[in-house]
């Protein structure tokens, strides 16, 4: 059984989608959800789905002995950032090489970096009159949105699309692909 820990900061629709996908399969399970936001909606979702969840503050995240020792103890096969907005400290990147992945709601290297998250990304895509956008799933390194790309999927942006319309298209791509890409990383025969 492969074990995943999910990090999420907000609504947690991706976290829920990943949890329910693997609840219907035997080879992978989500063992814990961690959040930096004690009021995040993802915590309600975890309660409903009967998944362990906990929140932590910046000090606990930065200080190696707290979050780090918990992660080391659980020793997950993969750490999945699903709408997690804090930068991953270098000590964690080093402790889990090629074991931390992130989903970004644009076609990196476009629209990445600090401050580029959620609706900010879709508004920038709209403002620049892009004709396409998409999602990127990538390994996490010490720099925001710069680790090796694992997977991308595209969608069209129509002239009449608002940022909310773009967000909806991105959401659909995320729901469709993220769990399958995780599965293909953990169980390569599924590729
Ligand atoms: C997702 O669209 C994800 O790609 C994005 O935040 C959203 C979280 O939604 N992540 C970033 O922008 C990271 N830079 P969710 O909480 O409903 O899963």
Does the pLDDT value for residue 52 go beyond 90?
yes
| DSSP state string for the chain | -EEEEEE--S--HHHHHHHHHHHT-SSEEEEEEEES-TT-HHHHHHHHHT--EEE--HHHHHSIIIIIHHHHHH--SEEEESS--SPPPHHHHHHSTT-EEEEESS-TTTT-STT--HHHHHHHHHHTT-SEEEEEEEE--SSTT-SPEEEEEEEE--TT--HHHHHHHHHHHHHHHHHHHHHHHHSGGG-
pLDDT at 95: 93
CA of 14 to the centre of ligand 1 (A): 7
CA of 2 to the centre of ligand 1 (A): 24
Average pLDDT over residues 42-65: 92
pLDDT at 190: 52
CA of 82 to the centre of ligand 1 (A): 6
Ligand 1, atom 7, lies closest to the CA of: 83
Query: pLDDT averaged over the chain?
Result: 95
Does the pLDDT value for residue 49 go beyond 60?
yes
Q: For ligand 1, which residues put their CB under 6 angstroms from it?
A: 8, 10-14, 82-83, 103-105, 117-118, 121, 170, 174
Average pLDDT over residues 100-128: 96
171 a catalytic residue: no
pLDDT at 17: 98
Alpha carbon distance 154, 183 (integer Å):
20
Of the residues 39, 68, 104, 190, only one is catalytic, namely 104
Ranges of each domain in the chain = 2-107+135-154+177-186
Alpha carbon distance 16, 189 (integer Å):
24
Quick one: CATH architecture of 2-107+135-154+177-186? 3-Layer(aba) Sandwich (3.40)
Please identify, by atom number, the ligand 1 atom nearest to the C-alpha of residue 104: 4
Q: Which of 14, 36, 43, 45 to mutate to test the pocket of ligand 1 (most atoms within 8 A of CB)?
A: 14
CA of 83 to the centre of ligand 1 (A): 3
pLDDT band at 65 (very low <50, low <70, confident <90, very high): confident
What does the pLDDT look like over 67-97, one tens digit per residue? 888 999 999 999 999 999 999 999 999 999 9
């Amino acid at each position: 059984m492969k074990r995943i820990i999910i990090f999420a900061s907000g609504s947690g629709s991706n976290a829920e989608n990943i949890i329910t996908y693997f609840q219907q399969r035997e080879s992978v399970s989500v063992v814990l959800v961690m959040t930096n936001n004690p009021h995040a909606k993802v915590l309600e979702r975890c309660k409903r789905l009967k998944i362990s969840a906990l929140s932590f503050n910046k000090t606990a995240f930065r200080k190696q002995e707290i979050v780090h020792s918990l992660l080391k103890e659980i020793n997950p096969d993969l750490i999945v950032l699903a709408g997690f907005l804090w930068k991953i400290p270098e000590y964690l990147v080093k402790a889990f090489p090629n074991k931390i992945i992130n989903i970004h709601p644009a076609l990196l290297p476009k629209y990445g970096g600090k401050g580029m998250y959620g609706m900010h990304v879709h508004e920038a895509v709209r403002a620049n009159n892009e004709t396409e956008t998409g999602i990127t799933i990538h390994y996490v390194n010490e720099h925001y949105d710069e680790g090796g790309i694992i997977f991308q999927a595209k969608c069209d942006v129509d002239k009449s699309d608002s940022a909310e319309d773009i967000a909806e298209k991105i959401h659909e791509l995320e729901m469709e692909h993220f769990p399958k890409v995780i599965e293909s990383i953990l169980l390569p025969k599924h590729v």
